[in-house]
């Protein structure tokens, strides 16, 4: 009886160097939508790879970078007991400890997910148990951070996400409060920090859910290794910090400036969804931006200073390296503040601009927002405004603009025509739920719209007449979403999913 030889799997013939590289690529899959260097779904892959066979297990354990991503879901980690007592589930905590041990001296990427699992299923509203769950998560964070602080000198990124403020404020206190046991130890490898409140319902009704705030401490002072005496000293810097994203978490803005002003290395700054009573003043905001001369990306979404606060006519802050700017407002209320904000920024090399109405609850109409939004569009195009808080400019704000995204922006055809005609270098145009913008683009051939420079247009929704006019534009790539196919089934056109559209528009 002849024995059959089982052919060896091709992947088993790969050299260990190549196989370990494949393991690394699979484990550190990038999450572009959230801006992370990893995907939370891929961080458990090292355990899976190590379970295939003895060779793979030995190889996986010998590569420290495979274990350097810590995705901590508090739902799986924390066990609730009566009388507000909690313990950690042993298995996930042991797995966390194992990852830290196997990562050896590699830099660590940390994601702490403190969202209520019930709220994740009820997007845009509140779960009755949210208060109890958020308090539980907030209570457990000191114990979790005490464990993580032992590796603080290896942190490369830290992200804390929650749909309520209590866990986020608890995390911020822990990162800002002095503790003698940690003095002298700094997060010298830290490149990315993000605190994010994720629930849209909170974004629209934040004033109803603000807990008592303690805004005296210097944000993130613990990460600098500062002692209680020097708080933030020049020698206590975060030399590699490049990206700071703050979603809906109130800060001591003067203290935040002291943290940013140490290294002057910030390249990406996002301030989003802050209650109007807890935002920085114009002077504080100008000082924060002035402390980031290397800034390449700036996002101000329902945040930044408001005109109800005191302001002074100060000089313009120069941001020669700024390439991307995202502005988000709520109806007509904040557009004047954005004009005043823009008048204090000099970004001559900006290539990507995104403007959106970020209110997820209330639909907007041109009659509600038109005049104020048109003033914002006009200022972007001309640099001139009659508003007393704005500084008129003698030159174009963004002469090198190439990518423009408008989301739920309501204005007249004339306003859009003047706005888009100002950008002679425009290449990529994205219009999402923005009435009249496409009509302005499709004016007669003798209009001033620089259609000849546009190479791609992304539109949603689009009507059949608009689609037929778009087809007449030569050398323009079209990506359309809407009801065109229903209106004319014989027409063939490229389409993309809503999620892909959003990724493109958000850059």
Confidence of residue 274 (pLDDT cuts 50, 70, 90): confident
The alpha carbon torsion through 258, 264, 268, 273 (nearest 10 deg) reads: 20
pLDDT at 314: 62
Characterize 89-114 residue by residue with b for buried, 16 or more Cβ atoms within 10 angstroms of its Cβ, and e for exposed: eeebbebbeebbebbeebbbbbbbbb
**pLDDT averaged over the chain?**
77
Average pLDDT of the residues in 239-251: 90
> Residue 479: what pLDDT?
64
Region for 330 from its dihedrals, namely left if φ exceeds 0, alpha if ψ lies in -120 to 50, beta otherwise: beta
What is the model's pLDDT at position 234? 46
Q: What is the pLDDT of residues 121-144, one digit of tens each?
A: 444 455 545 677 888 888 889 999
**Contact criterion met (CB below 8 Å) for 497 and 505:** no
Residue 339 has pLDDT above 80, yes or no: yes
Cα torsion at 21, 34, 106, 18 (round to 10°)?
Answer: 0
What mean pLDDT do residues 168-181 have?
79
Secondary structure of the chain: what % helix, strand, coil (to 5)?
40, 15, 45
Alpha helices in 155-243 (DSSP H): 165-176, 200-204
d(CA 289, CA 319): 8
Q: What is the average per-residue pLDDT within 242-264?
A: 82
Q: How many CA atoms lie within 13 A of 261 on its CB side?
A: 17
Give the β-pairing of 69-73 and 352-357.
unpaired
Higher-confidence residue of 482 and 27: namely: 27
Residue 324 has pLDDT above 60, yes or no: yes
pLDDT band at 3; cut points 50, 70, 90? low
At 500, the pLDDT band (50, 70, 90 cuts) reads very low
Mean pLDDT of 494-505: 33
Does the pLDDT value for residue 413 go beyond 50?
A: yes
Mean pLDDT of 299-324: 81
| pLDDT tens digits, 141-158 | 999 999 999 999 999 999
pLDDT band for position 505 (cuts 50, 70, 90): very low
pLDDT of 60 higher than 70: yes
Question: Structure pTM?
Answer: 0.84
Give, as one character, the DSSP assignment of residue 320. T
More confident residue, 191 or 81: 191
- SS3 of 100, please? helix
Q: For the packed helices 130-148 and 165-176, what is the interaxial angle rounded to 10 degrees?
A: 20
**Regarding predicted confidence, which is higher, 424 or 324?**
324
Residue with more model confidence, 463 or 326 = 326
DSSP lists the bridge partners of residue 381 as: none
N-term to C-term CA, the chain: 64
Which residue's structure tokens are 């002003």? 261
CA distance 107 to 66: 11
Confidence of residue 482 (pLDDT cuts 50, 70, 90): low
Q: Is the pLDDT of residue 39 over 50?
A: yes
467 band by pLDDT with thresholds 50, 70 and 90: confident
Tracing tokens 């042993």 back to the chain, one arrives at 90
Beta strands in 43-84 (DSSP E): 69-73, 78-81
pLDDT of 15 = 85
Residue corresponding to tokens 């065109």? 484
Q: Once rounded to an integer, what is the mean pLDDT over residues 2-30? A: 76
Q: What is the DSSP string of 234-245?
A: TTS--TT--EEE
Rounded Cα gap, residues 244 and 364, in angstroms: 31
What is the rounded average pLDDT of the residues 63-76?
Answer: 90
Does the pLDDT at position 498 exceed 80? Answer: no
Q: Is the peptide bond before 461 cis (omega within 30 degrees of 0)?
A: yes
Give the residue ranges of DSSP H helices in 298-361. Answer: 335-342
Q: Which pair of structure tokens corresponds to residue 270?
A: 């996002």
The pLDDT, as a whole number, for residue 231 is 52
Alpha-carbon gap, residue 301 to 279, rounded angstroms:
12
CB atoms within 10 A of CB 180: 8
pLDDT for 181 beyond 70: no
Q: What is the mean pLDDT of residues 303-327?
A: 81
CB count, 10 Å around CB of 498? 10
Structure tokens at 171: 């995390």
Tokens standing for residue 269 = 């700054």
Write the pLDDT tens digit of every residue in 368-405.
555 688 989 999 988 888 877 777 777 788 999 999 99
Q: What is the pLDDT of residue 87?
A: 76
pLDDT at 46 over 60: yes
* pLDDT tier at 36, thresholds 50, 70, 90: low
10 Å CB burial of residue 117 (0-12, 13-18, 19+) is: middle
- pLDDT at 449 > cutoff 50: no
On whether the CB atoms of residues 12 and 52 are closer than 8 A, the answer is: no
């Amino acid at each position: 009886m002849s024995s059959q030889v089982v052919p060896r799997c091709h992947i088993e013939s790969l050299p260990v160097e190549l196989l370990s590289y494949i393991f690394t690529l699979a484990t550190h899959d990038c999450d572009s939508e959230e801006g992370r260097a990893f995907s939370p779904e891929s961080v458990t892959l090292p355990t899976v790879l190590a379970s295939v066979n003895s060779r793979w297990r030995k190889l996986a354990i010998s590569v420290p970078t495979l274990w350097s991503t810590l995705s901590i879901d508090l739902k799986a980690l924390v066990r609730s007991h009566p009388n507000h007592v909690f313990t950690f589930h042993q298995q996930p905590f042991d797995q966390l400890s194992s990852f830290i041990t196997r990562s050896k001296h590699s830099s660590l990427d940390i994601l702490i997910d403190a969202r209520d699992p019930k709220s994740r299923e009820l997007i845009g509203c509140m779960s009755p148990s949210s208060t109890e769950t958020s308090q539980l998560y907030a209570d457990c964070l000191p114990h979790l951070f005490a464990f993580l602080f032992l590796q603080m000198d290896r942190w490369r990124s830290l992200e804390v996400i929650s749909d309520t403020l209590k866990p986020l404020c608890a995390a911020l206190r822990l990162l800002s409060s002095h503790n003698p046991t940690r003095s002298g130890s700094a997060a010298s490898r830290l490149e990315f920090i993000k605190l994010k409140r994720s629930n849209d319902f909170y974004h629209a009704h934040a004033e109803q859910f603000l807990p008592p705030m303690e805004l005296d401490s210097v944000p993130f002072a613990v990460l600098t290794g500062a002692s209680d005496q020097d708080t933030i000293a020049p020698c206590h810097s975060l030399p590699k910090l490049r990206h700071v994203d703050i979603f809906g978490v109130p800060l001591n803005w003067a203290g935040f400036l002291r943290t940013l002003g140490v290294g002057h290395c910030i390249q990406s700054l996002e301030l989003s969804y802050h209650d109007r009573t807890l935002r920085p003043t114009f002077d504080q905001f100008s000082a924060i931006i002035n402390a980031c001369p290397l800034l390449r990306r700036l996002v101000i979404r329902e945040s930044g200073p408001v005109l109800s606060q005191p302001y002074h006519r100060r000089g313009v802050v120069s941001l020669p390296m700024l390439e991307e700017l995202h502005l988000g407002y709520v109806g007509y209320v904040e557009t004047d503040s954005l004009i005043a904000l823009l008048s204090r920024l000099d970004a001559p090399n900006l290539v990507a601009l995104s403007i959106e109405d970020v209110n997820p609850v209330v639909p907007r109409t041109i009659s509600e927002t038109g005049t104020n939004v048109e003033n914002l569009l006009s200022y972007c195009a001309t640099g001139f405004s009659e508003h007393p808080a704005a500084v008129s400019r003698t030159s174009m704000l963004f002469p090198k603009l190439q990518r423009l995204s408008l989301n739920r922006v309501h204005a007249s055809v004339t306003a859009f025509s003047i706005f888009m005609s100002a950008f002679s270098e425009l290449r990529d145009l994205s219009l999402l739920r923005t009435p009249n913008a496409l009509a302005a683009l499709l004016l007669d051939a003798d209009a001033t719209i620089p259609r000849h420079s546009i190479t791609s247009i992304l539109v949603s929704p689009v009507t059949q007449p608009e689609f037929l006019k778009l087809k007449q534009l030569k050398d323009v790539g079209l990506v359309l979403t809407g009801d065109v196919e229903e209106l004319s089934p014989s027409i063939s056109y490229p389409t993309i999913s809503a999620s892909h559209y959003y990724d493109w528009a958000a850059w």
